[in-house]
């Protein structure tokens, strides 16, 4: 497979499996190790491209020149973004073979894909897959059992490792066609469908694990309770207060553009006032 | 319960492995070791009370179930939540004599975890800023053609940032913080306004985490409906999460089929969904 390259165009340069695997591992373990706000994943990217460049360009000066294509800013979802590294590996191979590809072509592809894949990855992985896995794991771990935590570790690491490995080699073999399923019309349908699963599971997580209740009870002159607000609310819709507080937080953050930290501060104020007037009482004692 | 130097150092090491720019890779570091549920298991093993560790981890995981870091901006730091917050919460719960599996203990854990996690974002930005130094080494190496050193810039030097801003803070805060948390009991009585507020907030904090996730998945008002259906299945019908996931898969299949049918009937109007796309015969 590795022959001499004295006649450049007729002599195919092919990356072997070992080099690609090494590049994949460098990305898997090091996409964000040297993270900074200014360059984000740039160094992780360069580190994972290094074995590929060294394989394709025997001459040191060519390697130095080739790495300059990867000095541009790079940041994406590190899981889905693996496919981009795979695609660049195949493009770099084509460039070394003398095809009409230069550093700018490679960079345009990277810059064009990193934004969309970051958005898809954040909603698909952070917004859907992780909450589902964690939601199931939390149920298994209620009562202090370590089973749920172990389930999450095994399930997620297997999905992440084999998923990223698949994406990397998919990117290498298919080139930019690899992302068609993610960005095309079918991809949009799949994303919407998965989004429904995510939304329902998150609703379930909220109902199963969060329970905001009021302790407000109005008493008549004879000392009997004539209004128990919590049981009234439960007869209307179980968990009503929990949903209302969540919608309130959502409204603050997405409509009023309040940051998450200030939203928490507002909850502190609400709690403080609520405790003072007797609306909230966690019923504490030693 | 106290935290020895050795235990504190183990927390420090795990903090290095799991922070947002983590030394154990994103999938294993940030997304596994960094999650509070896993952190609860680790802290439980290290401090010798797995049950309490998991209980704290479960409570804090709820707040951060939807930790998204769009564009590298963080609102909470996982190393601080999992390896400073959980150990301190465990000490606090033990010293207050609370039932580890009770709601009160969980709310205390959430309050401590969120406070530490929010303050901990300082550590995240500190590491990212210090990494600029190593990156400047990297740029010089590239200029001089010493490209082999990039691997060292990416995997070696950042350990120094992590030692300074993950290992040392986690070790010092867990070791000395344990004493401070124990002193809390005498300083703040449980039936006082401060503690009541703290526990009430702890009960509400997961709403913020869920709301952050909702912001991600809700684009139109109708997107709230699947969320509310999931909530109702659990709150009113008392289903568990696996059951809800399976029911949601049915809806996912329906949505997928409708969307695909919608795409193939090149009509594009939103009326096609409402009428199931059946009476749209005209092909352009």
- How many residues would you count in chain A? 286
- The reply to whether A101 and A230 lie within a common domain is no
Q: Identify which has the larger pLDDT, B221 or A2.
A: B221
Q: What is the mean pLDDT of residues A194-203?
A: 85
pLDDT of residue A210: 80
Domain's final residue, options A202, A233, A257: A202
Q: Which strand (E) or helix (H) includes residue B126?
A: helix B121-143
ipTM over the 0.95 cut-off: no
Question: Cβ A43–B232 below 8 Å, yes or no?
Answer: no
Extract the tokens encoding B113: 């975890």
Of the candidates B97, B211, B233, the beta carbon closest to that of A249 is on B211
**pLDDT one-digit tens code per residue, B220-253:** 888 899 999 999 999 999 888 888 888 999 999 9
- The reply to whether A65 and A196 lie within a common domain is yes
- The reply to whether A184 and A219 lie within a common domain is no
- The reply to whether A28 and A168 lie within a common domain is yes
Of the candidates B30, B207, B217, the beta carbon closest to that of A195 is on B217
- The reply to whether A176 and A126 lie within a common domain is yes
**pLDDT one-digit tens code per residue, A76-85:** 888 888 989 9
pLDDT at A9 over 50: no
Mean pLDDT of chain B: 81
Domain's final residue, options A202, A218, A241: A202
pLDDT of residue B188: 67
Q: To the nearest whole angstrom, how far is the Cα of A213 from the nearest Cα of chain B?
A: 9
Nearest alpha carbon to residue B230 among A132, A231, A249: A132
Percent of chain A topping pLDDT 90: 14
Residue A155 contacts B where some CB pair is shorter than 8 Å: no
Could you tell me if residue A170 is inside a domain?
Answer: yes
Could you tell me if residue A1 is inside a domain?
Answer: no
**pLDDT one-digit tens code per residue, B119-161:** 787 888 888 888 888 888 888 888 888 888 888 888 888 889 8
- Residue A220, C-beta contacts closer than 8 angstroms, at least 6 positions apart: A226
**Which range among A79-88, B19-28, B172-181 shows the weakest confidence by mean pLDDT?**
B19-28
A positions 83-142 inside 8 Å of B (CB): 118, 122-123, 126-128, 130-132, 134-139, 141-142
Could you tell me if residue A154 is inside a domain?
Answer: yes
pLDDT of residue B189: 66
- The reply to whether A176 and A116 lie within a common domain is yes
Question: Cβ B197–A275 below 8 Å, yes or no?
Answer: yes
Could you tell me if residue A103 is inside a domain?
Answer: yes
Residue A154 contacts B where some CB pair is shorter than 8 Å: no
Of the candidates A206, A259, A284, the beta carbon closest to that of B199 is on A284
Nearest alpha carbon to residue B224 among A139, A254, A116: A254
- The reply to whether A196 and A215 lie within a common domain is no
Number of domains chain A is built from: 2
**pLDDT one-digit tens code per residue, A21-52:** 999 998 988 888 888 877 888 888 888 988 98
Mean pLDDT of chain A: 83
Domain hosting A273: range is 210-277
Q: How far apart are CA A182 and CA A116, in angstroms?
A: 9
Question: Cβ A201–B142 below 8 Å, yes or no?
Answer: no
- The reply to whether A69 and A137 lie within a common domain is yes
- The reply to whether A215 and A165 lie within a common domain is no
Could you tell me if residue A105 is inside a domain?
Answer: yes
Could you tell me if residue A4 is inside a domain?
Answer: no
pLDDT at B271 over 60: no
Which band of pLDDT confidence, cut at 50, 70 and 90, is reported for residue B100? confident
Could you tell me if residue A109 is inside a domain?
Answer: yes
Mutate to test the interface with B, among A77, A146, A157, A192 (most CBs of B within 10 A): A146
CA–chain centroid gap for B189, Å, is 30
Closest residue in B to A234 (Cα–Cα): B236
Written as one string, the DSSP assignment of chain A is: -----SSTTTS-----HHHHHHHHHHHHHHSSTT--TTTBTHHHHHHHHHHHHHHH--SHHHHHHHHGGG-S-B---TTTTHHHHHHHHHHHHHHHTT-S--HHHHHHHHHHHHHHHHHHHIIIIIIIIHHHHHHHHHHHHTTT-THHHHHHHHHHHHHHHHHHHHHHHHHHHHGGGGGHHHHSHHHHHHHHHHHHHHHHHHHHHHHHH-------EEE-TTS-EEEEHHHHHHHHSTTHHHHHHHHHHHIIIIIS---HHHHHHHHHHHHHHHHHHTS-------
- The reply to whether A31 and A70 lie within a common domain is yes
Question: Cβ A37–B71 below 8 Å, yes or no?
Answer: no
Nearest alpha carbon to residue B76 among B38, B121, B122, B32: B121
């Amino acid at each position: 497979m590795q022959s001499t390259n004295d006649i450049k165009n007729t002599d195919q340069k092919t990356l072997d499996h070992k080099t690609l695997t090494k590049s994949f591992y460098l990305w898997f373990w090091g996409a964000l190790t040297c993270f900074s706000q200014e360059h984000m994943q740039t160094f992780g990217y360069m580190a994972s491209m290094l074995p590929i460049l060294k394989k394709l360009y025997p001459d040191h000066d060519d390697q130095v020149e080739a790495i300059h294509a990867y000095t541009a800013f790079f940041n994406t979802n590190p899981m889905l973004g693996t496919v981009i590294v795979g695609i660049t590996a195949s493009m770099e191979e084509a460039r070394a073979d003398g095809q009409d590809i230069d550093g700018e072509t490679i960079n345009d592809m990277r810059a064009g894909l990193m934004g969309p894949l970051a958005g898809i990855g954040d909603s698909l992985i952070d917004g859907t897959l992780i909450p589902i896995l964690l939601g199931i794991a939390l149920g298994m771990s209620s009562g202090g059992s370590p089973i749920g935590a172990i389930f999450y570790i095994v399930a997620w690491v297997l999905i992440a490792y084999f998923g990223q490995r698949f994406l990397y080699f998919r990117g290498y073999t298919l080139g930019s066609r690899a992302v068609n399923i993610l960005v095309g019309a079918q991809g949009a349908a799949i994303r919407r469908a998965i989004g429904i699963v995510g939304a329902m599971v998150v609703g379930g997580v909220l109902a199963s694990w969060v329970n905001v209740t009021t302790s407000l009870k109005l008493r008549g002159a004879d000392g009997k309770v004539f209004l128990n607000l919590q049981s009234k609310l439960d007869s209307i819709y179980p968990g009503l207060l929990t949903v209302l507080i969540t919608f309130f937080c959502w409204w603050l953050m997405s409509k009023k553009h309040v940051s998450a930290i200030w939203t928490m501060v507002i909850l502190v104020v609400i709690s403080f006032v609520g405790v003072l007037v007797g609306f909230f009482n966690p019923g504490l004692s030693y | 319960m106290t935290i020895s130097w050795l235990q504190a150092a183990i927390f420090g090491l795990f903090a290095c492995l799991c922070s947002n720019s983590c030394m154990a890779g994103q999938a294993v570091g940030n997304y596994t070791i960094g999650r509070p549920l896993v952190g609860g298991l680790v802290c439980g093993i290290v401090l010798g009370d797995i049950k309490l560790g998991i209980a704290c981890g479960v409570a804090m995981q709820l707040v951060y179930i939807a930790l998204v870091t769009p564009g590298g901006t963080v609102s909470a730091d996982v190393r601080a939540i999992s390896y400073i917050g959980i150990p301190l919460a465990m000490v606090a719960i033990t010293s207050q004599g609370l039932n580890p599996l009770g709601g009160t203990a969980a709310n205390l854990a959430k309050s401590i975890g969120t406070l530490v996690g929010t303050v901990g974002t300082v550590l995240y930005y500190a590491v990212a800023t210090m990494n600029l130094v190593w990156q400047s080494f990297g740029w010089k190496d590239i200029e001089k053609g010493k490209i082999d050193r990039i691997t060292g810039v990416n995997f070696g030097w950042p350990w120094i940032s992590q030692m300074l801003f993950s290992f040392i803070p986690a070790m010092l805060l867990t070791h000395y913080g344990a004493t401070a948390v124990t002193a809390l009991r005498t300083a703040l009585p449980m039936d006082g306004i401060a503690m009541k507020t703290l526990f009430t907030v702890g009960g509400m904090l997961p709403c913020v985490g869920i709301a952050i996730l909702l912001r991600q998945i809700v684009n139109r008002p109708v997107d709230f409906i699947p969320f509310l259906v999931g909530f109702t299945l659990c709150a009113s019908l008392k289903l568990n999460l696996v059951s809800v996931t399976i029911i949601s898969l049915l809806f996912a299949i329906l949505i997928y089929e409708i969307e695909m049918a919608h795409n193939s009937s090149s009509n594009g109007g939103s009326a096609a969904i409402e009428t199931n796309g059946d009476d749209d015969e005209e092909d352009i």
